[in-house]
Amino acid sequence: MALLRKINQVLLFLLIVTLCGILYKKVHKGTVLRNETDDDSEPPEEMEEEIPVVICAAAGRMGATMAAINSIYSNTDANILFYVVGLRNTLSRIRKWIEHSKLREINFKIVEFNPIVLKGKIRPDSSRPELLQPLNFVRFYLPLLIHQHEKVIYLDDDVIVQGDIQELYDTTLALGHAAAFSGDCDLPSAQDTNRFVGLQNTYMGYLDYRKKTIKDLGISPSTCSFNPGVIVANMTEWKHQRITKQLEKWMQKNVEENLYSSSLGGGVATSPMLIVFHGKYSAINPLWHIRHLGWNPDTRYSEHFLQEAKLLHWNGRHKPWDFPSVHNDLWESWFVPDPAGIFKLNHRN
């Protein structure tokens, strides 16, 4: 009897364990299925990639920023996250412009740039004082402003995007390259335009080759320059190569030796980038950076050429919201009126 009782106890124990196991599986399975059903998000491999676009919003030209954002947002189905960078006293105005206009639907973050990081790094004697504005150097500090993204697009505010920004984001960066730019010799019809308006498209136009420090770089003055108004950047490589530190080093050297501020190009932000990225950058499709539209108000591109362009850049003194300027009709079609009524167009006939 005692043996039979023990056998029954063992069988009862095994039965209980089996029932517990079955019950656990049912409950666990129900939980997994409920989570999958309740969670509307797509699996990680199918989630739409977020494209971060960094653009500055300076107080006097905020309308340019909003027009650029409008053109980007309107011409893509991609998931864009705009990082709109401003100084402290402009942040509330940036938010008001976005939230009280047709841009209210965009996905954005407002980022404050503290100009204290530029202290002692900028000479005050540039031939173009507007290039000394603190936000002109935001592109040097991308990893300090953007943290969770591997790849980032930086755009100047005086651009209009006519293509799908996804194409620009898909630009391939070669192994070991921290950024991609548009070379100044790759622009269709660039040579004819340059001869006509006197544009600089070589290092000679930006660096002072009379200075020993520049000569010692060993860079030929006839080397083709590039334009950093449109950048596709790899943040991992940027940080690994300490790009920001390198750029700051050349800014400080310029303060001490005046290596480029008085040169022909007046490229206060361009010049250190030309040095740091020499021979170490990938190429952006030329149609993704048609520039010099603001260089000379008497020089125009063909309408057909401009229609084919993916991105238009009014670099130079003559901006499309001001007078005189060229092809401003293309820019104005994306203009978003200022809810505060501060920014106004100046197009005299």
* Token pair in block for residue 174: 């070669």
Q: What is the mean pLDDT of residues 226-238?
A: 97
- Other residues' Cβ atoms within 10 Å of the Cβ of residue 227: 22
Dihedral angle at the C-alpha atoms of 241, 244, 247, 251, nearest 10 degrees? -150
Of 283, 273, 280, nearest in space to 172 by CA: 283
pLDDT at 4: 52
- Provide the percentage of residues in the chain whose pLDDT is more than 70: 78
Residues ≥6 apart with Cβ < 8 Å to 106: 69, 73, 80, 82, 98
Q: Domain range holding 253?
A: 51-190+226-333
pLDDT at 186 over 70: no
pLDDT at 6 over 60: no
Pick the more confident residue, 138 or 20. Answer: 138
Any domain includes 21: no
- Provide the percentage of residues in the chain whose pLDDT is more than 90: 68
Any domain includes 35: no
* Token pair in block for residue 324: 């005189």
| Whole-prediction pTM | 0.83
- Transcribe 208-254 into DSSP letters: -TTSHHHHTTT--TTSB-EEEEEEEEEHHHHHHTTHHHHHHHHHHHH
**52/233 Cα distance (integer angstroms):** 11
pLDDT at 41 over 60: no
Of 291, 304, 300, nearest in space to 325 by CA: 300
List, in sequence order, every residue forming a beta bridge with 51; answer none if it has no partner.
80
pLDDT at 147: 87
Residues ≥6 apart with Cβ < 8 Å to 315: 156, 158, 227, 229, 291, 292, 293, 294, 295
Any domain includes 167: yes
pLDDT at 142: 97
Q: What is the pLDDT of residues 80-100, one digit of tens each?
A: 999 999 999 999 999 999 999
HSE value, Cβ hemisphere, 13 Å, CA-based, for 111: 23
pLDDT at 124: 75
CATH code for the domain in which residue 173 is found: 3.90.550.10
Q: What is the pLDDT of residues 98-124, one digit of tens each?
A: 999 999 999 999 999 999 999 999 877
Any domain includes 147: yes
Q: What is the mean pLDDT of residues 191-206?
A: 65
List, in sequence order, every residue forming a beta bridge with 84; answer none if it has no partner.
55, 110
Q: What is the mean pLDDT of residues 233-262?
A: 93
**174/3 Cα distance (integer angstroms):** 77
**103/94 Cα distance (integer angstroms):** 11
- 3-state secondary structure (DSSP) of residue 284: coil
User: Distance of alpha carbon 226 from its chain centroid, rounded?
Assistant: 16
pLDDT at 306 over 90: yes
Any domain includes 250: yes
Any domain includes 142: yes
Q: What is the mean pLDDT of residues 240-262?
A: 92
pLDDT at 316 over 60: yes
Domain count, the chain: 1
**1/115 Cα distance (integer angstroms):** 91
**259/41 Cα distance (integer angstroms):** 53
Any domain includes 347: no
If you average pLDDT over every residue of the chain, what do you get? 85
Of 215, 184, 199, 205, nearest in space to 260 by CA: 205
Any domain includes 55: yes
